[in-house]
Amino acid sequence: MPFTHNLDPALFTIGGVEIRYYGLVYVIGFVVGFLYLNYLVKSKRLNLTRTELYDLIFYNILGVFIGSRLFHCLVWEPSYYLADPLKILYFWEGGMAYHGGLLGVALATYLFWRRGDIRKRVSLARLGDFASIPAVFALALGRIANYINGELPGTVTNVSWCVNFPRADGCRHPQMIYSAIKRFLVLGWLMFLVNKRYKDGFVLWNMIALFGLGRFFIDFFRDDPRWLGLATGQYLSLIMLVVGVVVLLKYYRRDLKRIFK
């Protein structure tokens, strides 16, 4: 039986200002991320001071929001936002691209790592391994927020779980939910790997490869423009997949063998 999307994207309103689920899920993501990284610092698995941990979280907050927002505005809808650049600052209206979010987090983490003597105490690959866990969690919550907002509806379908979205014609695949499920599955796999203590960087490159693989297939359910049968996001995801697999095979072959023993 088809579902009808009638969710209000606003959690509540204070003084005429809407507090949206979209913002709430990111707050939850960063709080959980802090708690996880704080646990690693306390258990001596991540050699950072408390002040450095706060700085890392701050850098990544900026990286996620600036990277994902700019990527969405300048890659997916450039004509709309360049006509009124001020709307780029309207985060609460939605419109965050995860490819940009990943790039933003990667750059922010690198800039943090370059500070002071941090690079002498923690390898960039190890920092990437641990940062990937809360990053994937936040990205999974972000897809749930996309669904609540009713944005990014999938292709028209007649499957029994299709959804009638208010701003789209026809019953659609809830591809945002597919993507959220994929990300939670990847998160579970990464948490399994990080507790096995493989070579630094192994968890990070698993994330990159699996995100590329999952996004490539899920994008067949997205209603995006296509070129030679594939959407732009699929080409970007293929790059992620190929690079991730090549790095894993070249530098982490022994760790891969450990998994399949």
Residues listed for the chain: 261
Question: What is residue 92's predicted lDDT score, i.e. its pLDDT?
Answer: 63
Angle of helix 124-149 versus helix 21-42 axis, rounded to 10: 160
The pLDDT value given to residue 37: 93
Which alpha helices (DSSP H) does 114-174 contain, by range? 118-121, 124-149
| C-beta of residue 145 within 8 angstroms of C-beta of residue 93 | no
What are the residue ranges in the chain where pLDDT is below 50?
Answer: none
pTM of the model: 0.86
Q: What is the pLDDT of residue 232?
A: 86
Q: CA–CA separation, 77 vs 82, rounded Å?
A: 9
pLDDT of residue 91: 67
Per-residue pLDDT, 93: 65
Residues 6+ apart with CB under 8 A from 230: 219
What pLDDT score was predicted for residue 218? 94
Going by DSSP bridges, is the β-strand pair 3-4/163-164 parallel, antiparallel, or unpaired? Answer: parallel
User: Quick one: pLDDT at residue 16?
Assistant: 74
Long-range contacts of 119-122 (CB under 8 A, 24+ apart): 121/47, 121/48, 122/46, 122/47, 122/48
Read off the pLDDT of residues 162-172 as tens digits, 9 standing for 90 and up: 999 988 889 99
